[in-house]
Amino acid sequence: MKLEILKETETPLLGRKRVNVQVTFQNVTPSRKELCKHVAALLKTNENLVIIKHIYSRFGKRVAKVVCHAYQDEKTLKALEEQHMIERHTGKQEKKPEATAEEKPAAAKPKEEAKAA
């Protein structure tokens, strides 16, 4: 995999860099985790501080444009990024508790009563 920086914009008020990278690859489009590792190595930063915003690949071509944000610290990253983007990169998704028998919809109960009658 080959990476080339197309554009790099420093945003000091937000504590991050916005980087556009062109990725040339052999087989399939690389995953977000792979791209995070390679972009972090290219920018000489921690891979936990890199968020891949978009991956634009072209059909039939082995090239993709990647837009990512590289933050200065984790506190800024958590304050500015959406929760679902952080979960995509860390792999930690909060599971919603399943509904108990008492909380299930009331529509199921009348059917049971109709069978009994």
> Can you give the pLDDT at residue 91?
78
Calpha distance 16→68 (Å, rounded) = 10
Buried b (16+ CB within 10 A) or exposed e, 87-117: eebeeeeeeeeeeeeeeeeeeeeeeeeeeee
Identify which has the larger pLDDT, 107 or 81. Answer: 81
pTM of the model as a whole: 0.71
* Tens-digit pLDDT profile for residues 14-61: 999 999 999 999 989 999 999 999 999 999 999 999 999 999 998 999
Element (H, E) at 9: strand 2-11
Q: Which residues, in sequence order, are CB contacts of 81 under 8 Å at separation 6+?
A: 51, 69
Tell me the average pLDDT across 79-85. 91
Q: What single-letter DSSP state applies at residue 92? A: -
Give 86-117 pLDDT, tens digit per residue.
Answer: 898 887 765 555 655 566 555 555 555 556 65
Domains of the chain (ranges plus CATH)?
A: 2-90 (3.30.70.330)
Calpha distance 61→12 (Å, rounded):
35
Task: Please report which residue ranges of 9-99 form alpha helices under DSSP H.
Answer: 32-43, 74-80, 83-90
Q: What is the pLDDT of residue 95?
A: 56
